Structure 1
């Protein structure tokens, strides 16, 4: 029997523990709101000997002030440069000494500092990450040094034309919406951003009521809550002041109008990269399970429509797939293919024809059954990893506001119907598509004329 637990937005400070899910063999998912507004969620996995832990802040690239694009990612880098108690080397040595893994990720709507360690080393991992989050040094010398590192990271990304194509696609399909910004910022902004601006971004976004701490594996909830509180206070945060958790983002759709059109970025390359797509549904839209099934059927595997039509039958591309990205108030779906410049127009024509076929005629029962099995199998196997379960808790708290266990998720996937898939496909594919082409283009005018006719 599946289980769904709604997560209250504004739980009373000091609220009692909330059991989100109780499974077999002692497995349990729990949530506690500390008096300071810090939210702690754990999933006890009795068979595990390790623990994945994440410290989440609901701040991402979309939250940056104009002219400060990239400051969230910059701040993530700086937290590894040292605290009032530890140098950057000491932070690294702590994890290396126990064979642990640690890293961080900046996304469009969140930032996460995470680690995976043996259960016996969990106190050390929490101590280090709490220190980084609550008392980073953020000095000007470190900022100047890390500025160069981030510029090199941007340069590396710019050399990867697949990354360039996806970044330009997000900007083109989302338009002026903040979600269209590149997470890393731009070279010009990174060169000019000041230490004061980064510190101000930290002060506004890294407060107890903003923090969500999740852990999955060999972890016991009450002990973990006490550990988190102790380490944050040792790092300098005052957790005695009552506060309600920061509300989740509004989920009303932003109403992004599809504008379509073609963007071409000419670069010397052996292969041309093309993306086609449109605005789509939000992360909390009930149809997100329908979109997962539709995505799997279109381009989610070797038996998918696009893989068979583009690669297997015609040999137009080595890599071809569909994808979907959903956020609090916006989202998009797209198709990617990398092909020879000479076969670009033909590749786009085949992709468009395949998409139109699904929108007009729907999909088959056989495809639906296969997609359910693909998604279900992948989901269950992913949840054998404590890192995936830790991430699921963070997403539940920050994004969807509900904890959905594996059985309920599979039930929702299995309840998707052929009519629902056809209706969503018609809604999405019926919009004017946005196209982005990155790479070598033999004749720009010929390309524009051919593609604009195909995309009209």
Structure 2
């Protein structure tokens, strides 16, 4: 596939903390009046401040439905003369049926040509208008997104082409072999990428023989059996206005946003009246195998632990989200301290709540030297068992509340970040508030967080996948003590005698 029409295969969890630095003049006055006999001051401009959560932008969500059934969310931002429109359909790979690869092939065929334009002409037109077109698919949904300048001379032809790609693609017979080859290349790339392979194997352990255990791109056998007739039928069934979710962010008036949503919705196939909605295939955890090793000659072993979590709409989602950040989701998490800072076993370790099927997944991923893989796995299991037993501390919960509040401000700094949050609200039918989860986290108590952990997660339910080389195992290093002059909880290592100006 052309690199300008690339797959989005994941969502990165952005993280950051904004520190509000105030009182500079007061610090300067204090320094000038200090006694000559006082000890040499240390760097302290941040350590004496009370933590303050950064305020988030006032962003108001407008919502409506088109007459043909498309759900639309819109946020207006006027800082830049451009806008983003994101359209997703309940047309992911879980709907492949008996032909693995059908959803991905239909999705890929959309950009292969419309009336009067082949793929090369589409790319040339999009480039000439200063626009960007991006595409992605997962188990549940397929999406296309357009970024365009707000100037009508640019946006009008860009939107016309975008709507045509969505609703009236050629789905030409001659394009199908090329698309099949691209999907086979994607399958090959997945099998050679250790992280992708580990995630795929973990899902296969959780839900074997289900659509959720297969790659988004299908299988060789499924792609071989694929026909244009099946692709056309899939498009007419699942790329309909009733299946569409439209999300807009940027320099548009409400009237313009409504007009764009109608333009797109009216171009899509319409479900005949009285046709029952096609439910998503059910996913149940039926796998009994708990671990799997994929032998590969690698310098690092890729380790993944996964177990079912909860959906974004579950009442306990916020508690598990916060608990997960404390355990392994931030640079100051328990796993980072124990595995990296104290033992130097990993460069990074990441725990996340991932969307998956009708529920969710808790996943822990890391890379470690092959000789320490067994010991690192045992240590991670032990740390999680302790976490379930004892729960987070009040200090950890207070810190994560502040960090989550500041993450909200950072994650709404650009149109693309706002769009990402708004798409999640649209997808999961969440309350129309960008700060909904943030507010839930702020109200959490230790008791609620600890109880939610033990309600939904278990120390003995991890599915474990390792991808790497089999070598002789060594015991993990003993934890090292912190530097003697390290102040508790501080990242500041300034030598005595330095003061911030």
TM-score by length of 1: 0.83
**Counterpart Cα distance in 2 of 1:354 and 1:158:** 31
**Counterpart Cα distance in 2 of 1:83 and 1:375:** 44
CA deviations over 1:370-394 (Å, ceiling 9, x no partner): 2222222223212222223233333
Counterpart for residue 252 of structure 2: 219
Counterpart for residue 59 of structure 1: 91
Counterpart for residue 391 of structure 2: 362
Which has the larger displacement, 382-391 or 335-344?
382-391
User: Quick one: which of 123, 131, 151 aligns to 1:92?
Assistant: 123
Shift of 1:246: 8.5
- Structure 2 matches for 1:52-131, cutoff 5 A? 52-66=84-98, 68-120=99-151, 121-131=154-164
Which has the larger displacement, 264-273 or 191-200?
191-200
CA deviations over 1:107-146 (Å, ceiling 9, x no partner): 2211110022221133333212210011111111101112
Q: 1:377 to 1:41 in 2, by over 3 A?
A: same
Q: 1:128 to 1:310 in 2, by over 3 A?
A: same
Q: 1:55 to 1:367 in 2, by over 3 A?
A: same
**Counterpart Cα distance in 2 of 1:247 and 1:45:** 35
User: Quick one: which of 192, 206, 210 aligns to 2:239?
Assistant: 206
Structure 2: which 5+ runs fail to align? 1-55, 476-501
Counterpart for residue 453 of structure 2: 425
Counterpart for residue 380 of structure 2: 351
**Counterpart Cα distance in 2 of 1:282 and 1:392:** 16
Shift of 1:254: 5.5
**Counterpart Cα distance in 2 of 1:111 and 1:326:** 14
Which has the larger displacement, 209-218 or 370-379?
370-379
**Counterpart Cα distance in 2 of 1:223 and 1:110:** 26
**Counterpart Cα distance in 1 of 2:398 and 2:458:** 22
Counterpart for residue 397 of structure 1: 426
Counterpart for residue 24 of structure 2: none
- Structure 2 matches for 1:380-391, cutoff 5 A? 380-391=409-420
Q: 1:345 to 1:47 in 2, by over 3 A?
A: same
User: Quick one: which of 337, 359, 363 aligns to 1:334?
Assistant: 363
Correspondence 1:136 to 2:169: yes
**Counterpart Cα distance in 1 of 2:57 and 2:409:** 17
More helix by share: 1
Counterpart for residue 278 of structure 1: 307
Correspondence 1:47 to 2:94: no
8 Å Cα contact 2:393-2:446 kept in structure 1: yes
Correspondence 1:153 to 2:199: no
**Counterpart Cα distance in 2 of 1:421 and 1:249:** 33
**Counterpart Cα distance in 2 of 1:170 and 1:423:** 26
Which has the larger displacement, 33-42 or 266-275?
33-42
Counterpart for residue 309 of structure 1: 338
TM-score by length of 2: 0.76
Q: 1:378 to 1:248 in 2, by over 3 A?
A: farther
8 Å Cα contact 1:322-1:336 kept in structure 2: yes
Counterpart for residue 414 of structure 1: 442
**Counterpart Cα distance in 2 of 1:82 and 1:228:** 22
**Counterpart Cα distance in 2 of 1:70 and 1:58:** 15
8 Å Cα contact 1:283-1:400 kept in structure 2: no
Counterpart for residue 319 of structure 1: 348
Counterpart for residue 454 of structure 1: none
- Structure 2 matches for 1:165-314, cutoff 5 A? 165-230=198-263, 233=266, 237=268, 256=285, 259=288, 261-314=290-343
CA deviations over 1:329-369 (Å, ceiling 9, x no partner): 22221211211111111101110111011101111111112
Alpha-carbon RMSD: 2.8
Shift of 1:190: 2.4
What SS does structure 2 have at the residue aligned with 1:394? helix
8 Å Cα contact 2:66-2:265 kept in structure 1: no
CA deviations over 1:415-456 (Å, ceiling 9, x no partner): 12211222232230344221111111137xx99xx9xxxxxx
Q: 1:264 to 1:283 in 2, by over 3 A?
A: same
**Counterpart Cα distance in 2 of 1:26 and 1:398:** 22
**Counterpart Cα distance in 1 of 2:387 and 2:431:** 32
What SS does structure 2 have at the residue aligned with 1:30? strand
**Counterpart Cα distance in 1 of 2:221 and 2:298:** 25
Shift of 1:177: 4.3
Q: 1:379 to 1:181 in 2, by over 3 A?
A: farther
